[in-house]
Amino acid sequence: MTWEAWLEVVEEVAPRVLGPADRRGDALAAEVRRLSELYTRERHALDAAAAAHAARLRFFFLRDLPKIEGPLAELEGALPEGPRWRVLDVGAGLGASCLGVAAFAKRRGVERVEVIALERDPAALDALEALARAAHRRGLVPELVIDARRADVDGLELGTLPKADLVVAGFVLNELFRDRDEVDRLDAAEGLLRALVGRLAPGGSAIVLEPALRTEARALQALRDRLAAQVYAPCLRAGECPLTRRERDWCHAALPLELPPALAALALRAGLRASRLTYAYLTLRADGRRLAGYEDPRAVRVVGGPVESKGKAEWDACGAAGLVRLRRLDRERGPDNAALDGALRGTLLRLASAPEDGASVRARAGVPIERIGPVARPGT
């Protein structure tokens, strides 16, 4: 992640697009803290989030920018070919998802990214276009063509939109259909995701990012079960999501990324984490293609942990069979199980043999555990 250059982009754009709503220092930290509370504990009042312009641009845009790179890295071998990518960004906001895609594309040699950005807030669209121009001037993104369209995604007729190589919906699904009961809301969300898959060009992918919160992530897991035939990632199994069995479980991933000093200081002042960016996600395709490793019964994805106690560490992992518990005694830590070192939620591993649902797998010398993958390292 080229933090310094992106911080310069925001510093250039913020005074102009925010005007009197710009904030710094304690005032900015207070706004960031308040917006975080709306996102996590007061979602009934989420409409007020639109007013937190400075917090959205000076903190949350930058923090969310790299998150799309985790799912993109897993599309290795299944990304759009050629020098031009066509992107549809649904609920674009300030553009963290589509600009994250563009930055990723730039490092892969893509020459041009064409974006249709759908967003109901015209001020957000103005900021997105300003950020895109500033990022291009600094060489962070390739040539960008932004078709910014003011639209309310709730009632949008997606069938009229052109096909795209990548469709992204970053942290927007949880904000839609909030006036409906749980079943109707899931039905509506399923309809939207099916419509998004319908806008994919041949070989295209749709990436849905959601907050790493229990309610929102579990809703995404329920949608995953409904859309199982289109799921490329994160799942390594065709059956129902085993993390839906217990209300206390939810599936999300973590990027091993430290915020730069300025953002880290702001996060800490607002009472937020300064590392390990977390999110829930689904990657969907229309062609039935699956993530590499899907057919291997030894492959598992870390979905919990590490939980460390006296003399040992434990991880929960999910694979073709279901949930397994990985356990490593401190005295048995060694080269054969070094793949567990730093294994965060979302890490893909290959065990020595295929486990059964509910099995406990002990990591020890002579029994190899491999990390497979790609491992997402934003900015590389």
Residues 239-258: tens digit of each pLDDT:
899 999 989 999 999 988 88
- pLDDT reported for residue 41: 67
For residue 293, what pLDDT is reported?
80
Question: Quick check: 39 pLDDT over 90?
Answer: no
**pLDDT at residue 210 in the model:** 97
Contact 322, 237 (CB under 8 A): yes
* CATH class of the 67-257+266-284 domain in this structure: alpha beta
Q: Is 86's pLDDT higher than 90? A: yes
What percent of the chain clears pLDDT 70, i.e. is strictly above it?
95
The band of 380, judged by pLDDT with boundaries at 50, 70 and 90, is very low
Q: pTM for the complete prediction? A: 0.95
Q: In this predicted model, what pLDDT tens digit does every residue of 91-139 receive, in sequence order?
A: 999 999 999 999 999 999 999 999 999 999 999 999 999 999 999 999 9
Q: Please, what is the average pLDDT of the chain?
A: 92
Residue with tokens 């973590």: 254
pLDDT at 178: 84
pLDDT (0 to 100) of residue 352: 96
List Cα–Cα distances, 122 to 50, 94, 97, 125, in angstroms.
11, 10, 17, 5
Give CA torsion, residues 359, 340, 365, 311, to 10 deg: -80
pLDDT band of 154, cuts 50, 70, 90: confident
Q: DSSP assignment of 306-319, as one string?
A: EEEETTEEEEEEEE
Q: Residues 104, 140: contact at Cβ < 8 Å?
A: no
CA-CA distances (angstroms) from residue 133 to 6, 7, 79, 190?
Answer: 12, 14, 25, 34
Backbone Cα Rg of the chain: 21
Mean pLDDT of 35-41: 83
Contact residues for 166 (Cβ-Cβ < 8 A; gap 6+): 80, 85, 86, 87, 88, 101, 204, 205, 206, 207
pLDDT at 16 over 70: yes
How much of the chain, in percent, has pLDDT values that exceed 90?
Answer: 83
Distance CA 149, CA 358 (A): 48
Kindly report whether the peptide bond that precedes residue 80 is cis, defined as omega within 30 degrees of 0: no
Partners of 242 in the β-ladder: none
What is the structure's pLDDT at 48?
Answer: 56
User: What integer is the mean pLDDT of 272-295?
Assistant: 91
Q: What is the pLDDT of residue 263?
A: 95
pLDDT number for residue 203: 96
Burial class for 227, CB neighbours closer than 10 Å (0-12, 13-18, 19+): middle
Torsion 104-227-235-323 (CA) sign: positive
Cα(317)–Cα(302) distance, integer angstroms: 4
Cα torsion angle, 361, 363, 364, 366, sign: positive
Q: What is the mean pLDDT of residues 135-152?
A: 96
Would the pLDDT of 338 be above 70? yes
Lowest mean pLDDT among 193-207, 285-299, 362-376: 362-376
State phi, psi for 306 to the nearest 5 degrees. Answer: -75, 140
Report the range of poorest mean pLDDT among 32-36, 232-236, 290-294, 353-357.
290-294
Q: What is the DSSP string of 82-121?
A: SSEEEEEEET-TTSHHHHHHHHHHHHTT--EEEEEEEES-
Cross-strand pairs, 145: 114
C-alpha closest to that of 363 among 320, 319, 322, 333: 333
Confidence band of 262 (pLDDT split at 50, 70, 90) = very high
Structure confidence at residue 294 as a pLDDT band (50, 70, 90): confident
Q: What is the pLDDT of residue 1?
A: 55
314-332: average pLDDT: 96
